[in-house]
Amino acid sequence: MNDFFNNILGMQFEIQLLFIVCFSFIIINCILLLLNIKKTNKIKTKYSRFMNGLSDRNIEELLDTCLNNVNSVSMKNRDIELKINNIERNLMQCVQKVGIIRFNAFDNVGSDLSFAIALLDTNDTGVVISGIYARDSSSTYAKPIMSGKSKYSLSAEEIQAIDIAKKTSIERNYTNN
- Higher pLDDT, residue 109 or 67: 67
Is the pLDDT at 1 greater than 60? The verdict is no
Average confidence (pLDDT) over 18-38: 94
CB-based contact 135:108 (threshold 8 Å): yes
**pLDDT given at position 3:** 65
CB neighbours of 84 closer than 8 A, spacing ≥ 6? 174
Q: Please report which confidence band the pLDDT of residue 91 belongs to, taking 50, 70 and 90 as the band edges.
A: confident
The mean per-residue pLDDT over the stretch 52-59 comes to 70
* Mean per-residue pLDDT over the chain, rounded: 86
Question: Confidence class of residue 83 from pLDDT cuts 50, 70 and 90?
Answer: very high
Mean pLDDT is lowest, of 31-40, 89-98, 116-125, 151-160, for 89-98
Residue 2 confidence (pLDDT) above 80: no
Comparing 96 with 48, which gets the higher pLDDT? 96
Using pLDDT thresholds of 50, 70 and 90, give the confidence band for residue 177.
Answer: very low
Amino acid 104 reads N
- Answering whether pTM is above 0.85, one says no
* Residue 3 CB burial class (10 angstroms; 0-12, 13-18, ≥19): exposed
List C-alpha distances in Å: 104 to 107, 108, 127, 158, 170.
7, 9, 21, 13, 28
Answer whether 123's CB lies under 8 Å from 131's CB: no
Query: Exposed (0-12), middle (13-18) or buried (19+): which is 101, by Cβ within 10 Å?
Result: buried
Closest CA to 162 of 141, 143, 135: 143
d(CA 88, CA 174) in angstroms, rounded, equals 10
- Whole-angstrom distance, CA of residue 163 vs CA of residue 147: 12
Name the more confident of 114 and 53: 114
